Structure 1
Amino acid sequence: MTDTQELAGLLETLCPMFLLVDQKGCIGQAGSTLQKLRPELPLVGQGFLDVFELIRPRTVTTVPALMSMAGAKLHLKFRDEPRTTLKGLVAPLQQSGGAVINLSFGISILDAVRDYALTSADFSGTDLAIELLYLVEAKSAAMEASRSLNLRLQGAMLAAEEQAYTDTLTGLKNRRAMDHVLGHLILTNSAFALMHLDLDFFKSVNDRLGHAAGDYVLQQAARIMLEETRSADTVARVGGDEFVIIFKGLTQEGTLASIADRLIARLNEPMMFQTQPCSISASIGTALSTQLQVLKAADILHAADLALYQAKRDGRSCHRLYSTLTNVQS
């Protein structure tokens, strides 16, 4: 083994980003990590100043000037893309007239690790870069774990909030959600209609066919209400067989009457549960936010209730508007 080979092996172990440069500036040996940065360009045989551009000191433009920089820090970068910046140190070899130039990434190490897929095996075991990489990896792992935990917590909070506002049997909004929507509409002085719907003869289905049949009817009724309303509307189950529908921005009595008629017609159709017909109907009362001088949630709910009770007194399976009641016409 020649002295040059022995030196190259030693340098490969201690500083795998070294270059052995002869007195003419030609690269004779290159560390494995440094060569990994340019896999398509064999560094051996290339001129050092042809591969690298000296940034500082700018006065170094020739090989003799480079060789005179013993112990001085060099700032350089590749001439081709990606133009990774490097730091270097020149150690002249007296016998050959050449030099050992050891390179490092400096503060650009994180970018280099990302761009060239470097690992700890590409650095000397005593290189502080290894410690930095471990710290970065540990920080990244901790941040990813924290992000994952935050996402899970956020998901759990959203799920809990959604569950708190959802009727578990029908998937509709519940009374709490209705109160929230109603309060927001009143606070923002928005025009809306509130429709109170009650299922007629629902108790007889429960008594005759059992609670499973009753649950099925409630679920089918909920589906029909969702199909006959807009996505912006709020459909809520507020009691056993009672529902409230809030129509934001809709106050035309004719349109609301048409919606109520469609709901009644569809809910009048028998629902088959395990070959058994379940027959119900619906009574509906509707009140408009524009009908009340001072709009309060309790008052508009009461107005819709009055209209609903009038529908039941009039024979059920019908719709009544609060505006048609005697106490409103006065």
Structure 2
Amino acid sequence: MDLLMPMHLRVDACGTITSVGPTLQRICAETPLPGRDFFDVFTLRRPQGVRDVAGLLRADGRLSLGFRTGARTSFKGLAVPLGTGAGALVNLGFGISVVEAVRQYALSNSDFAATDLAVELLYLVEANTAALEESRRLNLRLQGAKSAAEAQAITDTLTGLGNRRAMDEVLTRLEEAGRGFGLIHLDLDFFKDVNDRLGHAAGDAVLQHVGRVLVEETRGEDIVTRAGGDEFILIFPRVTDDTVLRQLALRIIARIEKPIPHGDQQCLISASAGIAVSRGIGSVAQVLLDADRALYASKARGRAQATVASATP
């Protein structure tokens, strides 16, 4: 009986539970069921109003019930007579709530009859859960790979700064939002001399050093990009005071002019800056053009200068 119906119970003619299947008793581990009144343990949802074993058997034996107290587990049941006046055999099952019950009571295949369709359902649920988990992990890996690829696409591999694509995306967002911003176009002076005299490894070290200086001198919300070669574009959202920008540019130039060690050599460079401001009107292209013209004005004035563009929208 325990193998065929591990969730059965026997009830005598007075309604007293006389024996219980192993799975049903496991569910009620804290309260042994034998000796208790069936109607004190369970509340019948169908048939309603029944309070004796005879009533169970009169209603074609089909039951819908749950525990009267404690867990709100729902059962489907079937009651059949054991013999005249001998009580009833009641076999219970979880019905469509089997998956929830398995999780709630930590049941396994051995808690069900081998022929119970619930076993097949559990296999399907287990396989489906494993497939969903693997799909979730795959999606996380794909999302991570996508994010990494997107980050790589807008990152300068040498300095770790944003590249020209990153600069274009930021400027486009600012233009579409109509937000004011300041922009510094920075170009290194005498960088070619370092490459020619000390080699490209020294030039790369200089670019990386300049990148660190630019990050250290700017805020977290500012955007620092390497536009190409030895040119850098710095974007400052909501900063439209050209005096503040010029002071910052001069501070950056002063740091860049300090000798940069490379092995046993010293790399000596400087920088020139062009500054332009947008107050949320006009085009980004015009701001870039103004900053570029201001940069060349700094070069013409002897380099290591910071020039503010005039008549910038």
Once the two structures are superposed, the pairs formed by residues 4-153 of structure 1 within 5 Å of their partners are 11-69=1-59, 71-94=60-83, 97-153=86-142
Return the match for 1:187 from 166, 173, 176: 176
Once superposed, which parts of structure 1, at least 4 consecutive aligned residues long, lie more than 6 Å away? none
Deviations 1:247-299 (A, max 9, x none): 11111012111211221121112222224322221111011124x97x23332
* Partner AA of 2:305 in structure 1: C
In structure 1, the residue matched to 2:211 is 222
8 A Cα contact 1:67 1:98, kept in partner: no
Residue 265 of structure 2, aligned match among 276, 287, 295? 276
Match in the other structure for 2:201:
212
What percent identity do the matched residue pairs reach? 53
Partner of 1:165: 154
CA distance in 1 between counterparts of 2:159 and 2:63 reads: 73
Would you say 1:320 and 2:307 are equivalent positions? yes
Corresponding pairs, count: 312
Report the alpha carbon displacement of residue 225 of structure 1 after superposing the two structures with TM. 0.7
| 5+ residue gaps, structure 1 | 1-10
CA deviations 1:111-135 (Å, max 9, x no partner) are 1011011111111111111121122
Per-residue deviation, residues 36-85 of structure 1 (Å, max 9, x unmatched): 1121111222221121111221121234423544x421111112221211
Partner of 1:3: none
Amino acid at match of 1:225: L
Q: What one-letter code is carried by the residue in structure 2 that aligns with 1:14?
A: L
Which of 279, 284, 309 is residue 297 of structure 1 equivalent to? 284
> 1:287 is matched with which residue: 258, 271, 276?
276
Secondary structure of the 1:184 match is helix
RMSD: 1.8
Deviations 1:152-180 (A, max 9, x none): 22221111111111101111110011111
In the TM superposition, 1:226-265 aligns within 5 A as 226-265=215-254
Q: Is the 8 A contact 1:224 1:266 kept in 2?
A: yes
CA distance in 2, matches of 1:191, 1:35: 73
Paired letter, 1:232: E
Q: Deviation at 1:96?
A: 6.4
In structure 1, C-alpha distance between the alignment counterparts of 2:189 and 2:307, rounded to whole Å:
15
